[in-house]
Amino acid sequence: MANRLFQVMDSLTMIDNPVFQSAAVPMAIFIIFWLFSILFTRYLLPLIIRISAHNDTDIDEKILLAFARPIRVFIFIIGIYLALSYLPLSSSQDVFLSQCFRSILIIIIAWGAYALSGIDSVLSEEFKEKLKLDSILIPFFSKIVRFVIWAMAIVLIAQEWNYNVSGFIAGLGLGGLAFALAAKDALANIFGGIVIIMEKPFSIGDWVQVSGVEGTIEGISFRSTRFRTFDQSVVTVPNSTLANQAITNCSRMGKRRVNFYLGIEYATPREKIEKCVQRIRDMLQKHPDIHPEAIFVCMENFSESSLDILIYYFTNTTDRAEYLAAKEDINFRIIDILETENVSMAFPSRTLYIDNISADKIANNLAPR
C-alpha cells in the first residue's frame, strides 16, 4: 500500500514538473489541430459544400474543392506553429519560426491559386463563357497564369528571407538577354504562338491543312501546335512555321469545291456533246447535296487526246464522309448520262503514221539473210 502511494505521488510530481508541462502543452496543441484538420476534411467541408449546392452557381463549391487540401495543410501547419511558439525559444529562433510560417503560408496560397487556374477549373470555364474566349486560349493563358503565380510566390518568399529581389530581377534581365540570343528559334516559336492565338485562324478540334500536314488540332503550347492526322498519327508543327504559312481551315468552309475535267473522244458528234453538257448541268442544279450557286459545266479545252468538259460545283456539306458520298453519287450519274447518250470517255493515246517507203525498208531490214 505504501509503495502504491509513493507511485501516485511520483506521478503527481511528474505532472507538476515544468519540463513535462512545457512538452505536454505543445503536444496537446498539435494533436488538437491535427484532429481538427481531419474533422474539417471529413465533416465540415462536405457540410459547407452541401449548403453551397443550393445556390444557382457552383463557383463557390469548386473554389472550396480547389482549396480543400491547402486548407487542411494550413490547419496542420498552424498547429505546428502554435505548438512550437509555446516552447521557450530565443528571439532569433522565434524570428526564424515566423519566417518559416509565413513562407509556408505563401506556398499554400499559391497552391490553391494554381489549382484554380487549371484548364478544367471553374475560373477557366467562367472566362470562357463570359469573355467568349476561344477554347485554344484557355490552355495557353492557364500556363501563363500558373507561371506568374509561382514566380510571384518565389519573389515573396525571397523577400521574406531578406533576399535582394531587385538584384535578382536585374540578374534575370541580363540572363534573359543572353538566353534570348541563345534561344532565338524557341522565342520565334513563342511569338508565333502568340500571333496564332491573337488572330485565331483555328480552334482546338478544327480540321486544318498547313505545310503539307492535314488533320485536327489537338492543342497548342508555347513552342508548337499538335495535329492529329486522319491515320491517327500525331504531327507537331513549330508555331513559327505556322505563323508564316498559309493555313486552310476546312472546318470553317460553308461549302466544299469539286473541280475536274471530263475527257471524251474527239469522234463524238457536236450534238451529243451539247446534250451531255446540258444534262450534266441540269443534274447538278437539281441535286439535293449540291450548292445551287457557282455550277459550271462547259466544253472548255481541246487536249491532245480528248475534248475536255469542265465540271465545277460545290457540295453543301464540308464533312469528309458526306462530301465523298455526294461526289461519288455525282460521278455515277455522269457515267449514266454518258452511257445513255452513247458517248465514250477518252484515254491518253497517240496515232503513228508510217509511209510505204519506210515500211518496205523496215521489212527488208527484218528479213533473214
Average pLDDT over residues 36-57: 70
Asked if residue 219 belongs to a domain, the reply is yes
Structural domain for 306, as ranges: 256-340
Q: Three-class SS of residue 251?
A: helix
Alpha carbon separation from 201 to 24, 208, 223, 248 (Å, rounded)? 67, 9, 17, 9
Nearest to 139 by CA among 206, 224, 77, 215: 224
pLDDT of residue 78: 81
Q: What CATH number does residue 281 fall under?
A: 3.30.70.100
**177 vs 171: CA distance, rounded Å:** 10
Same domain, 19 and 140: yes
Would you say how long the chain is, in residues? 369
Same domain, 215 and 276: no
Same domain, 228 and 289: no
Report the half-sphere exposure of 332 (CA within 13 A, side-chain side): 7
Nearest to 147 by CA among 221, 74, 240: 221
**125 vs 122: CA distance, rounded Å:** 5
Q: Determine the Cα angle at 245 with ends 244 and 250, to 5°.
A: 140
pLDDT of residue 354: 62
Asked if residue 169 belongs to a domain, the reply is yes
Same domain, 158 and 60: yes
Average pLDDT over residues 338-342: 91
Output 155 or 288, whichever has higher pLDDT: 288
- 181, 211, 228 — which closes off a domain? 181
Alpha carbon separation from 286 to 278, 281, 320 (Å, rounded)? 12, 9, 22
Radius of gyration of the chain (CA): 40
pTM, two decimals, is 0.45
Same domain, 234 and 331: no
Same domain, 71 and 204: no
pLDDT of residue 16: 52
Q: Of the segments 29-33, 36-40, 146-150, 261-265, which one has the largest average pLDDT value?
A: 261-265
Query: Average pLDDT, whole number, for the chain?
Result: 76
Asked if residue 120 belongs to a domain, the reply is yes
Is the pLDDT score of 151 beyond 60?
yes
pLDDT digits (tens, 9 = 90+) for 227-258: 998 888 888 888 888 878 888 888 777 788 89
Query: If you write DSSP's letter for every residue of 160-208 in order, what string do you get?
Result: HTT--HHHHHHHHHHHHHHHHHHTHHHHHHHHHHHHHHHH-S--TT-EE
Domain count, the chain: 3
Same domain, 223 and 335: no
Asked if residue 3 belongs to a domain, the reply is no
Asked if residue 89 belongs to a domain, the reply is yes
Asked if residue 306 belongs to a domain, the reply is yes
Same domain, 203 and 136: no
Is the pLDDT score of 9 beyond 50?
no
Asked if residue 137 belongs to a domain, the reply is yes
| Phi, psi of 237, rounded to the nearest 5 degrees | -115, 130
pLDDT of residue 296: 93
Output 175 or 258, whichever has higher pLDDT: 258
Same domain, 264 and 245: no
**134 vs 197: CA distance, rounded Å:** 9
Alpha carbon separation from 101 to 34, 91, 104, 106, 187 (Å, rounded)? 16, 15, 5, 9, 38
Same domain, 238 and 260: no
Is the pLDDT score of 123 beyond 70?
no
Cell of 249: 481551315
Output 228 or 144, whichever has higher pLDDT: 228
Average pLDDT over residues 22-31: 72
User: How many Å is the maximal CA-CA distance in the chain?
Assistant: 149
pLDDT of residue 126: 57
Same domain, 279 and 231: no
pLDDT of residue 272: 92
Asked if residue 346 belongs to a domain, the reply is no
Same domain, 236 and 321: no
Q: What CATH number does residue 203 fall under?
A: 2.30.30.60
Put the strands of the sheet holding 224-229 in their side by side order: 234-238, 224-229, 213-220, 207-210, 248-249
For the chain, where are the alpha helices, taking DSSP H only?
2-16, 18-39, 45-52, 59-66, 68-86, 91-116, 122-130, 137-160, 165-182, 184-199, 239-243, 270-286, 320-340, 356-366
